[in-house]
Structure 1
């Protein structure tokens, strides 16, 4: 059976790209998206008719006055698969995009489509094991005592089974809201450095939060 990474590797010569300044997708994490622009409705429609592969990218600073055109994209993006979709009556889509791999922009591919396509180099993480993994897990367990139970219950099982770069990515996807910081972490290819950086983010969040008071009797 073809893996998700192998499916995406077949598209690296012309990867469909959705530039979205307000969102950053990480490998191993899923992101819900509402697709309403005609050019990106066409992108999703074509992806669903084929391999379901697309990428999410950030735009270079200064894009605001050129958004309707083709402003330059930042070189690091995340390629993923559409794992769920809902087509609305007016042609809009709700989709869930599952990140699979970092991808470095090599060149944009001109074509007849309304949406953008690019030739990319996939950058999957190598294997990594180190003490930073356990330190990050322990920090997330501490954070779980300071956030709503529903949030912790969704995050903890994922953290328990993730390793290396995937661990850093799923934690960052859950706890880092700012697009600029998320993009910095997406650009970090060294797994150890990324784990340490996400650990710092979790530590800062813990410092700002008070422990959640228990509900009900203590015994």
Structure 2
């Protein structure tokens, strides 16, 4: 059976990429997207008819006046798989994109399609086990006591079963909202350093939040 990473590796010479300045996808995380621009409807349609692989990328600074063209993309992006889709009557799509691995942009292909395609080097994480994993989990457990129960119930099981770089990525996907900071963490290839960086983000969030007061009588 073909793995998700193998599916990504088969597309590295012509990876479909959606530049989206407002969102950063992490490996192992799922991002909902509403696709309405004609060129990216064409991208999703082509992906769904083929391998279901596409990537999300950030644009370099100064893109605002060129978005309708092909402004330069930042070199680190995330390749993923469309795991669910809904095509609307007018041709728009709702999709769920699951991140698989980081990828380094090597070159952009000639503009012979309405959407953009790039040649990339996939960058899956090396296996890593260290004390940073347990410290990050403990920080997440402390955070869970300061956020709504619905948020904690979604985050805790994912954090409990994730390891190494995946643990850093799923926690960052859940707790880091700013695209610039998310892109910084996406660019961090050293798993130990990434775990420590996400632990700092969680620690800062915990420090800003008061513990959730219990509801109902105490026994």
Instruction: Give the CA deviation at 1:168.
Output: 0.2
Task: Give the structure 2 partner of residue 134 of structure 1.
Answer: 134
Could you list the structure 1 runs, at least 4 aligned residues long, displaced by more than 2 angstroms after superposition. none
Q: Deviations over 1:161-200 (max 9, x none)?
A: 0000000000000000000000000000000000000000
Normalised to the residue count of structure 2, the TM-score between the two structures is 0.99
Task: Give the structure 2 partner of residue 216 of structure 1.
Answer: 216
What is the CA–CA distance in structure 1 between the aligned matches of 2:95 and 2:216, rounded to whole Å?
A: 39
Alignment of 1:1-219 (within 5 A): 1-219=1-219
Instruction: Give the CA deviation at 1:218.
Output: 1.3
What is the CA–CA distance in structure 2 between the aligned matches of 1:166 and 1:73, rounded to whole Å?
A: 24
What is the CA–CA distance in structure 2 between the aligned matches of 1:194 and 1:133, rounded to whole Å?
A: 10
Gaps of 5+ in 1: none
Normalised to the residue count of structure 1, the TM-score between the two structures is 0.99
Gaps of 5+ in 2: none
Q: How many pairs does the alignment contain?
A: 219
What is the CA–CA distance in structure 1 between the aligned matches of 2:50 and 2:11, rounded to whole Å?
A: 11
Instruction: Give the CA deviation at 1:111.
Output: 4.0
**CA-based RMSD:** 0.5
What is the CA–CA distance in structure 2 between the aligned matches of 1:88 and 1:214, rounded to whole Å?
A: 43
Classify the secondary structure of the residue corresponding to 2:212. coil
